[in-house]
Amino acid sequence: MTNENTALNTKINSGRLNSHEDLNALRQQIIDKHDPTKLEVLVCHGTGCIANGSMEVSETFKKICETSGIDVKIKPNIKTTGCQGFCSRGPLVLINPQGIFYQRVKPKDVEEIIQKTIINNEPVERLLYKDPKTGEPIKTENEIPFYNLQERIVLHNIGKIDPTDINDKIAAGGYQALAKALTTMTPKDVVTEITKSGLRGRGGAGFPTGRKWQGALKAVDKKGGPVYVVVNGDEGDPGAFMDCAIMEGDPHAVLEGLILGAYALGSNNGYLYIRAEYPLAVKHLEMAMAQARELGLLGENILNSGFSFDARINRGAGAFVCGESTALFTSIEGKAGTPRPKYVRSVEEGLWGRPTVLNNVETWANVPLIIDKGADWYSKLGVLNNTGTKVFCLVGKVNNVGLVEVPMGTPLSKIVEDIGGGVPNGKPFKAVQTGGPSGGCIPYKLKDLAVDFDSLTKAGAMMGSGAMIVMDDRDCVVDVALYFLRFLEEESCGKCIPCRLGLSRMKEILDTFSHGKGSEKDIDDLISLAKAIQDGALCALGTSAPNPCLTTIKFFKEEYLAHINEQRCPAGVCKDLITYSIDPDACTGCGSCARHCPQNCISGEKKKVHVIDTQNCIRCGICMDTCKFDAVQVN
């Protein structure tokens, strides 16, 4: 990812920064260099947009601007950014300073954008977002409900800055909090400020960050240093990419938070543990660390304050359990990442047996905001005991898939229906799974539930890291519970018996339900086994594993009973309980289903209604996928 303006920025001679004044001077220099009359083209290079071809879009912008003889004065700065958030509309292009928002931009559209918007200052109407209710085009990002109903503070810079260029971050106010802390605050002040803000860990359990830091300080008092600070970037929930987006889109925010934490705790060594599947996050953080070192913001004697700190990246190797604190430490130590019992807390005996503070990516990214703007400002966001905002990944059967940041305590319906635009088929959502495999399934009837740590836990779900998976009436809760159990059984490290054997047995019982077998007593057994696992498992992977199953039983028991007593899957998902047929009124006889059927069990003459031989059908669903006329039905 290289940018036009990187070349320009490298001309800014900064060298090592030795004070807050040096940082401010550099910031002013960068801002002064920026020509305010120049337009900026921001092309989203988040994973979703890249998968949708946004790299070709940014390349085309660069190529046309280089070769078309466009006037130097109006030649825009072309930037590639982290995830802009509205993933289902990608590839996204934002034109600043007007804030014109273009969606689903293809390379062939670039020429027109340059001609109309860059040269003649007119919008390209067909690429604008249309209000789903009125059909009216909406010109700027700020007017789109998906964005203006959010409160983006952690995501504020993501999608606006070039994550590979520290100058862009410094111009946006990066490292101001660090400079402020190093020059005007004692380490104790920093801990007090974080404690006062009410910040709680964004990784899942919501433990108060300030209290964790105080615990580590007490341990250091008792046994002396060193103490370690660690970033948990092992985001493993399937269907969650918030931390990935933060690390890719604003790596300096995470780094600045980590350095602040190190200063507060008197740590000189830190680690960033990043999931194996996030190579771009690793790359951007490596670049960020190298650039910060060069400016004297990381390493020896930071900003000439006498405080030294450096950090190293550990890439994960593909184990979900390594998101658990003690397993993560074991993995950093170079071993198989299995957790250990928690009667000794990690703040006392963590990495290498030393006091250690491990916080999640989003938690660290909140730290500079709190130090910069103050705990009072922060604690006004959100609700009592659940301050600040939370970033969610809104995915599944919802119109507006993407990254969403809202104050804690926002009602579920606002997130799914107002920001998310509801379910594609227009019906109310059936349930929302929060917190991934460790979370729970919240039914539509609880749509007004406040989304914060305490309310979700009370409902039997869990905040988790922030995945929010929307389900509609075509999703079967038994199948979903089974999916998560299969996932967790595979990811269980096998060290403790409740998790290793308990999850397998839970899966077996659920599996019988999906085949229409089992009895109501099995549901009771399932619940009692789940309780045993919650009580007995060694780590949070095990203790939270029964949540999806328990909440689906709690809220959707009738659906379980339909499987067991009537051998019926109301959502039409469980293979043994459904049959496929072809609607004679809708079938055009195109023959597509018959050609694709792996069993060759669909027959019919050309242009005549086709029929499925249900005896030989393996219910793979391919006919339904391939039919363009929605003629294949599930019964």
Exactly one of 41, 43, 57, 87 binds another protein (CB under 8 A); that residue is 87
- Listed residue (458, 471, 476) closest to 556, CA to CA: 476
328 binds another protein (CB under 8 A): no
For residues 524 and 531, give the distance between their C-alpha atoms in angstroms, rounded to a whole number.
11
Rounded to an integer, what is the distance from CA 491 to the centroid of its chain?
Answer: 20
CB of 405 to another protein, least distance (A): 17
For residues 311 and 69, give the distance between their C-alpha atoms in angstroms, rounded to a whole number.
45
572 binds another protein (CB under 8 A): no
For residues 539 and 559, give the distance between their C-alpha atoms in angstroms, rounded to a whole number.
31
- Listed residue (126, 148, 162, 125) closest to 40, CA to CA: 162
576 binds another protein (CB under 8 A): no
What token pair was written down for 490? Answer: 């595979």
| Closer CB to another protein, 302 or 623, in the complex | 623
150 binds another protein (CB under 8 A): no
Helix/strand/coil for 618: coil
47 binds another protein (CB under 8 A): yes
359 binds another protein (CB under 8 A): no
395 binds another protein (CB under 8 A): yes
Stretch 183-222: interaction string toward another protein, x if CB under 8 A:
----------------------------------------
| Closer CB to another protein, 60 or 331, in the complex | 331
Give the 3-state secondary structure of 474-509. Answer: CCCHHHHHHHHHHHHHHHCCCCCHHHHHHHHHHHHH
Report whether 18 contacts 69 (CB < 8 A).
no
| Closer CB to another protein, 206 or 464, in the complex | 464
CB of 276 to another protein, least distance (A): 5
Q: Select from 110-118, 198-206, 209-217, 390-398 the region that touches another protein (CB under 8 A).
A: 390-398
Report whether 253 contacts 20 (CB < 8 A).
no
For residues 414 and 416, give the distance between their C-alpha atoms in angstroms, rounded to a whole number.
6
311 binds another protein (CB under 8 A): no
For residues 42 and 284, give the distance between their C-alpha atoms in angstroms, rounded to a whole number.
17
Q: Select from 135-143, 175-183, 239-247, 582-590 the region that touches another protein (CB under 8 A).
A: 239-247
Rounded to an integer, what is the distance from CA 303 to the centroid of its chain?
Answer: 33
CB of 186 to another protein, least distance (A): 33
| Closer CB to another protein, 588 or 592, in the complex | 592
Exactly one of 90, 187, 215, 249 binds another protein (CB under 8 A); that residue is 90
397 binds another protein (CB under 8 A): yes
For residues 611 and 602, give the distance between their C-alpha atoms in angstroms, rounded to a whole number.
6
| Closer CB to another protein, 140 or 592, in the complex | 592
Exactly one of 41, 48, 260, 544 binds another protein (CB under 8 A); that residue is 48
| Closer CB to another protein, 9 or 330, in the complex | 330
- Listed residue (484, 568, 478, 486) closest to 523, CA to CA: 478
Q: Which CA distances in Å does 609 have to 342, 363, 591? A: 64, 58, 9
Stretch 590-629: interaction string toward another protein, x if CB under 8 A:
--x---x-x---------------------xxx--xx---
Strands 93-96 and 40-44 come out as antiparallel
For residues 582 and 185, give the distance between their C-alpha atoms in angstroms, rounded to a whole number.
72
273 binds another protein (CB under 8 A): no
CB of 271 to another protein, least distance (A): 11
CB of 537 to another protein, least distance (A): 18
CB of 150 to another protein, least distance (A): 17
Give, to the nearest 10 degrees, the angle between helix 242-249 and helix 361-373: 60
423 binds another protein (CB under 8 A): no
For residues 71 and 65, give the distance between their C-alpha atoms in angstroms, rounded to a whole number.
9
500 binds another protein (CB under 8 A): no
335 binds another protein (CB under 8 A): yes
Neighbours of 89 (CB within 10 A): 23
| Closer CB to another protein, 173 or 589, in the complex | 589
For residues 492 and 478, give the distance between their C-alpha atoms in angstroms, rounded to a whole number.
21
237 binds another protein (CB under 8 A): yes
| Closer CB to another protein, 104 or 554, in the complex | 104
Which regions of 111-213 does DSSP assign to beta strands (E)? 129-130, 137-138
CB hemisphere CA count around 323 (13 angstroms): 29
Which residues are near another protein by CB under 8 A?
A: 47-48, 50-52, 87-88, 90, 236-241, 244-245, 276-278, 314-320, 331-337, 393, 395-397, 401-402, 433, 436, 467, 469, 471, 475, 480, 483, 487, 493, 592, 596, 598, 620-622, 625-626
